[in-house]
């Protein structure tokens, strides 16, 4: 294939050159950001960014839905505010207009006052030779608020990774607070019908 377009999850870091990553959702009518840059006519902004520039991604443009409609509300409810749609995704936009999405706002784990985006840790863990697939979740902790927990399908159940191995692996690329504090080995992680990790 000359081009393969992917979306719906964080793109793999080792994808071939002909594989194009896109970002979009049902409300945008398909992908509106390709290779982290919006297409013509699409505007992006970060609502109320923190000092590091992180915040909820909002999108505007002619492709947006007009309203959510139900049988009980046929007139529909317009979710936009002044033409901007709040995506529920957290990310940053740099000075060149390049988008980085960290994941869903509801997935963020706050541990010891630091924010941990599972979407940044999971692809990293998935590249470990002893990991088949990984999912990062938050568990209540009396001191830190939540602790970062790695739920892992071992690549070889007879030789699973250790917590120390995974912590060292993560800390080689990310700040120490992203490293899991606990490890749960599982036979299979829960997924949706589309193969995405099921967090709920």
CB distance 31 to 11 below 8 Å: no
Question: pTM score, two decimals?
Answer: 0.72
- Range 57-61 contact pairs with CB under 8 angstroms and sequence separation of 24 or more: 57/87, 57/89, 57/90, 57/91, 57/93, 57/99, 57/101, 58/84, 58/85, 58/86, 58/87, 59/28, 59/32, 59/84, 59/85, 59/87, 60/84, 60/85, 61/28, 61/32
181, HSE (Cβ side, Cα atoms, 13 Å): 16
pLDDT for 200 equals 61
Distance CA 179, CA 149 (A): 9
Whole-angstrom distance, CA of residue 188 vs CA of residue 169: 22
Confidence band for 197, pLDDT divided at 50, 70 and 90? confident
Helix (H, G, I), strand (E, B) or coil at 167: helix
How much is the pLDDT for 68?
Answer: 93
pLDDT recorded at residue 153 = 96
Nearest-angstrom CA–CA distance, 29 and 65: 7
Helical residues (DSSP H) of 52-197, grouped into ranges: 118-126, 163-171
Virtual torsion, Cα 59, 62, 66, 68, nearest 10 deg: -40
Give the model confidence (pLDDT) of 132-174 as tens digits: 999 999 999 999 899 999 999 999 999 999 999 999 999 999 9
């Amino acid at each position: 294939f000359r081009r393969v377009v992917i979306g719906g999850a964080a793109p793999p870091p080792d994808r071939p050159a002909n594989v194009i990553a896109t970002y979009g959702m049902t409300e945008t009518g398909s992908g509106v950001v390709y290779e982290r840059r919006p297409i013509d006519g699409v505007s992006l902004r970060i609502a109320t960014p923190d000092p590091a520039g992180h915040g909820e991604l909002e999108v505007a443009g002619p492709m947006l839905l007009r309203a959510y409609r139900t049988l009980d509300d046929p007139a529909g409810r317009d979710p936009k505010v002044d033409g901007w749609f709040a995506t529920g995704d957290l990310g940053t936009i740099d000075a060149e207009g390049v988008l980085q999405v960290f994941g869903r706002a509801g997935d963020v784990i706050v541990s010891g006052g630091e924010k941990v985006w599972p979407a940044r840790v999971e692809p990293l863990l998935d590249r470990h030779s002893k990991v088949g697939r990984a999912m990062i979740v938050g568990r209540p902790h009396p001191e830190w608020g939540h602790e970062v927990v790695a739920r892992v399908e071992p690549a070889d159940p007879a030789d699973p990774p250790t917590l120390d191995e995974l912590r060292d692996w993560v800390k080689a690329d990310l700040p120490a607070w992203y490293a899991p504090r606990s490890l749960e080995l599982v036979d299979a992680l829960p997924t949706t019908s589309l193969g995405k990790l099921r967090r709920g």
